[in-house]
Structure 1
């Protein structure tokens, strides 16, 4: 059976200090590019300044992990020296709308940080986002419709224009901000374009080559209703895994863990709030090599209940990072690049 939602597209790790996050992710063995900080002159004649939300990625062939932060009002003194400043411009008559839109995005990021530092974004990948939008509407899942944005991407072949089509699911709780549900931002994005994603640095010293699981923790009383909600999102049934529930995706899975079981799955970890995304897993080529890298870099790590390696949330800015040995089929993918910038 074909699905209009296939794999995981990306997960978003929201952090308060981008410089600290860059240092952490490089110690974890990920290749992360200098973060992009939008700049904008918000009044006629004013000097451009960092504004809104800044981000960077740890990229894989079909997915990525995003690092996100919000720029403090009036400019953020913690903008990393390596940051890429991306000027935004708009005609004077459209400037207020642009400022409002960026301010709304930044307000969501700030609200997530107020809740806790960690994972707040989960986006699924779709080969046909228009079909996904229509199905979600038929299932009475409220969403904001399909949006399209364009951004330039620098490649060795020159500048390419990347088109991104996405939708965000709206929560039903009183006072919920548009484009958010109880866990954070959940939505659907068109599959990454191979010719664009292939131009990015997808090799990592830790051997990671794909995002293969996202884990959410929920209260026991809410497990069934949360599973039903994601069943509507994904058009798949939830399957049991002990006391947990999971959804099979293409080469990946979403797992819902009841709060009482989290310490069994991730020994020593606990959820910062309920419900919450608490961990993500990446497949790696050589788990022993990954373990050595973590040891050499002084990164605390443990074994999960199923034998994977994981860096606990307390050592990874609120998000547990799981490293999983690749299956034989997965490991046919290209080996990671050896070049790495610390």
Structure 2
């Protein structure tokens, strides 16, 4: 099986929500309470899964396959956060547990959902369709659910952006992005013009032992099989989320070198491509079976989607290749050991 190290970097864009409300009524506290309860009750496992596929994967927070309990039983302050490093769960808990925050948030949801509902109904009536009571209820409910999940996704992306900008140490590293020189100008040009680039000898001799180190992790059953049903990005793949701090400094030195090198990528691309990429410290090591496995589209077209995907090949057999479909164009790339492939979508 081919072995890839996959890392995705979301691109941050400025998000500004309108605070002008078109509701000219004053909500009673009891009505606000009922609305919050309704929101928590209607945000079910499928909605959470949809949110995670769009946001949690692209922020590289690790395992996302553990199902949440049914939300109809109610959420409390720490039901979303799965561990101390789960920033997405922390943002959701913070919103979910703050009455003032979720009240303002729901005002935005109601306004957008109402507009979506009116657009659908008006188009149907214009086309001569009859609006039955059952259809009216379904349209209203669908508009509410879709808007709720979309707004939650945008809320998390906005919080992520603000947090990373506020982090002085990472801001300093971004400002010093010109100190990194892993990519030649030809590589940046290919990435921007052809939407992908190939970098040979990315890490150098220090990467020589990484393949055997990863094989040992596989032998110890650390990889988890992922199918399309549980994760839209990987089909019939075996994956392992890794962080430099997880690795043994002596026994897994080469793998740690690779992760540290991958960690530099968003700083350099932010500087050279004039975009703002989210820093990640966790990468995904992927096993792929020839003819059976595939990594699906690496961006969902939304602001929270992954905009840069990097595939690192620590070791490759002679004659191995991979097909990359970029903007409906199929590109065949011969695989080499210590090779980096970069895909972009922005």
Question: TM-score, normalized by length of structure 2?
Answer: 0.28
Question: TM-score, normalized by length of structure 1?
Answer: 0.28
Q: Which has the higher contact order (CA 8 A, sep 6+)?
A: 2
Decide which structure has the larger Cα Rg and report it: 2
